[in-house]
Amino acid sequence: MSDDPFALFDAWFAEAKASEPNDPDAMALATVGGDGRPSVRMVLLKGVDRRAGFTFHTNSRSRKGRDIAANDAVALMFHWKSLRRQVRIEGRVIAAPEEVSDSYFASRGRQSQLSAWASEQSRPLESRALLEERQAAMAARFGGGEIPRPPHWHGYCVEPRTIEFWSDGAHRLHDRRLFTRTGDGSWSEGRLYP
């Protein structure tokens, strides 16, 4: 087994992409707002590397965006039921470089780009019809031209402080490997009781 948590994650993620029927890149993102209240939701992993960490994109005006602005400590969790594995990550969020946000936004489908402009994510919505009207208004606004990234839509990178790999074991003798980042940026590894 690897003693590099990113190499181990890459191997597990490759297996998940081959075995999970839906969204192997789905991860739970837990945040805590300025009021101290936790919140969790699913987001999609859009990149992972040793330098940037784990990247996702969202509306900075959404609840998660507001939580992150108030408190940069977050947790992620991948659960791959088909493999009977999960990965838990704790760390802090930093903004992704603008070019990363621009590049990913440009790669999205046109309707998804329009939705990023039309949705006031996490705000109360009077009716589904209003959302559809806003989507149509954005389609008319941009016509057939290029749709720029909204100023409130960003990429975020989670710089991990800890990464835990959990594997199901017979008779609840699960395997838990915990990697902790040290002061010099290297990783120390230990095991946890199940």
Average pLDDT over all residues of the chain: 95
Angle between helices 128-142 and 110-118 (to 10 degrees): 120
Q: Does residue 2 register a pLDDT over 90?
A: no
Q: Does residue 88 carry a catalytic annotation?
A: no
Could you give all domains of the chain from N- to C-terminal order, each with its CATH number?
Answer: 5-109+149-191 (2.30.110.10)
The band of 3, judged by pLDDT with boundaries at 50, 70 and 90, is confident
Q: What pLDDT shows up at residue 51?
A: 87
Q: Does the pLDDT at position 1 exceed 60?
A: no
* 128, 172, 181, 191: the active-site residue: 172
Mean pLDDT of 91-96: 96
What percent of the chain has pLDDT above 90?
92
% residues pLDDT > 70 (the chain): 99
Mean pLDDT of the 31-49 span:
96
The 10 Å CB-count burial string (b at 16+, else e) for 16-55 is beeebeeebbbbebbbbbeeeeeeeeebebbbbeeebbbb
Cα separation of 12 and 165, whole Å? 9
Give the pLDDT of residue 53.
Answer: 95
| Mean pLDDT calculated for residue range 174-184 | 95
d(CA 160, CA 89) in angstroms, rounded, equals 6
- Segment 117-142 shows an average pLDDT of 94
pTM exceeds 0.85: yes
